[in-house]
A and B are shown apart, each in its own frame.
Chain A
């Protein structure tokens, strides 16, 4: 492939980790990698995306509170219509990434491949890997027909590596004309106070599920995470129940984590949970049901009651100081 574009999302601290992962993956399959970014200060990421292989950043600019889906997709579609089309567009499987991919797909009349966790080359063409049924099977797929293909990739599918490139050239592009489709506006942002390592970056993740029995018992999970210098996570069941905020959710619709150690407490191990944590280096599970599917992926499984095992574990770790 000649050219791949990577949708570069930025957070306060610069390009998001998945952006750097996608730039790295793109380098393996194309001679030219370029980024598309938006936001008030895109110039500030030119150095970092350049270090990971992008030679150019198409800057859609400040969206003045508009949700990015419509304007960013319109800007990309306009570039493609002007003849400046890449062979493929890599998009992070994030909230805004999925919105942009969906809009772009309809605008370009091209399908989208989603939930990608790997790439390969087959017959000179890019093929994609998708875990299904909780990651027990891998489906390999590809686009047919004319490009560019839109590839939505899950976080943590690749390890980000620097290319040693210099700063990318920043090229301003106009946000496309979006009419009514661009009318959704952010009026206020709410950021949860966070302490300790981030869930998707922590070396240890301790997650709790419905087996904890009641919201107040989540404190045991938090305490254990703190003692192990890790981050607390959760199954969707207890997020939906309102015990913990959504930002704690591990799994298909939540975060993908790959810590050194993952401790699952009172989590059954549904397929949608497994795809988010199966890549952990070591897995410890505590569940009172010997048949729980979580035990099929654990390195150490304790068939027991979280209300007995967790307090004892916390006690022992504390006494070690």
Chain B
């Protein structure tokens, strides 16, 4: 079974985010790291591949400046190889353009199963994986909280508003996983060393047969027209509990006539 995991490399979310004042897009300079949301996908891929003989896990990513640090993390966890699409023409790509690029890249690994996160930490459109599924002609099951496969059929517990659905689907298919679905392993020292010599194919959009006018800012058919400060929600009273915290809350609720 060929398993492809989409892995986004993003600016460290612990650092405060910023928007580029001219393009209004997220600033993506500086070092990028593996999106924590995708570490669940990588772990899921490794577990599922481990259960089906002859499986291989390939990481697929689109990122600027030939960035590979997040890919190395995924390779250190145990993935076999990676495909990176990096091209200046991709700057400013919307989710659909990203899906076109990643679908073309994923095809190279002849995937039986494509795994992505439900949504990325920095973009959180949550539509890229389904757009990709449509372009690949595959079914998709989103919001998976449990996944298993015998290499032929995918079984998923899919979150719903009021519980979950058991969903079944033949492979090849796309599945998106939520955080908490598995416990991502920490790369071992051995894994980190091994990752250094694992292959990473770096491709341009020309290599994928895509046209520069289709992707990036040139291909985006949406634009940001304004960025403004939201109405601030003034913070009210903050008091240190001296044993009277509960009483304060009761008084507040009384004033609102909630009690």
Q: Which residues of A contact B (CB under 8 A)?
A: 11, 67, 69-70, 73, 94-95, 98-99, 101-103, 105-107, 109-115, 122, 127, 131-133, 135-145, 152, 179-192, 194, 203-204, 228, 236, 239-242, 245-247, 252-253, 260-261, 263, 278, 282, 284, 286, 290, 295-305, 308-310, 312-313, 315-317, 320
**6 new A-B contacts at CB < 8 Å, known A110-B96, A184-B168:** A106-B134, A140-B227, A142-B222, A181-B134, A253-B178, A261-B256
Q: Is the interface of B mostly helix, strand, loop or mixed?
A: mixed
Residue B166 lies at the interface, judged by CB distance under 8 Å to chain A? yes
The A interface, classified by DSSP as helix, strand, loop or mixed, is mixed
Nearest B-chain residue to A308, judged by Cβ: B241
Residues of B within 8 A of A115 (CB): 124-125
> Contact at A313–B180, with CB atoms within 8 Å?
no
Query: Tally of A-B residue pairs with Cβ under 8 A?
Result: 264
Is B66's beta carbon under 8 Å from chain A? no
Partner of A300, one of B95, B130, B141, B248: B248
Question: Is there contact, CB below 8 Å, between B96 and A301?
Answer: no
Tell me, yes or no, whether B226 is within 8 Å of chain A by CB: yes
Residues from 153 to 194 in B contacting A, C-beta threshold 8 Å: 158-170, 173, 178-180
Would you give 19 A-B contacts (Cβ < 8 Å), ordered by A? A11-B161, A67-B140, A70-B134, A98-B142, A114-B124, A132-B17, A137-B228, A138-B229, A140-B226, A140-B227, A190-B165, A191-B162, A252-B124, A260-B258, A290-B240, A302-B245, A303-B238, A304-B241, A309-B249
User: B239, A261: Cβ atoms under 8 Å?
Assistant: no
Contact B241 A190 (CB under 8 A): no
Interchain CB contact under 8 A, B220 and A302:
no
Q: Nearest residue in A to B238 (C-beta to C-beta)?
A: A301
A93–chain B nearest beta-carbon distance, Å: 8
Selected from B24, B222, B232, B258, the residue in CB contact (under 8 A) with A111 is: B222
Asked if B161 and A180 sit within 8 Å, CB to CB, the answer is: no
In the complex, B22 has a CB within 8 A of chain A: no
Q: Is the CB of B222 within 8 A of A141?
A: yes
Check B162 against A139 for contact (C-beta < 8 Å).
no
Nearest chain B residue, comparing its CB with the CB of A185: B168
Decide yes or no: A102 and B249 within 8 Å by CB, A95-B161, A189-B160 being known contacts: no
B-side contacts of A253, CB under 8 Å: 118-119, 178
Q: Nearest-CB distance from B20 to chain A (Å)?
A: 12
Contacts of B127 in A (CB 8 A): 98, 101-102, 105, 112, 114, 152
Q: In the complex, are the beta carbons of A247 and B239 less than 8 A apart?
A: no
Q: A16 — nearest CB in chain B belongs to which residue?
A: B161
Contact residues in A for B230 (Cβ distance below 8 Å) = 131, 135-138
Report the separation of the CA atoms of residues A240 and B137 in the bound assembly, to the nearest whole angstrom. 31
Given B125, B141, B145, B253, which contacts A261 in the complex, CB threshold below 8 Å? Answer: B253
Tell whether, in the assembled complex, residue B170 and residue A140 are in contact, meaning their CB atoms are under 8 Å apart.
no
Contact of B165 among A152, A189, A242, A312 (CB under 8 A): A189
Inter-chain CA distance A246–B161, complex, in Å, is 9
Closest to B17 in A: A133
When A137-B227, A137-B230 are in contact, do A241 and B165 touch as well, CB less than 8 Å? no
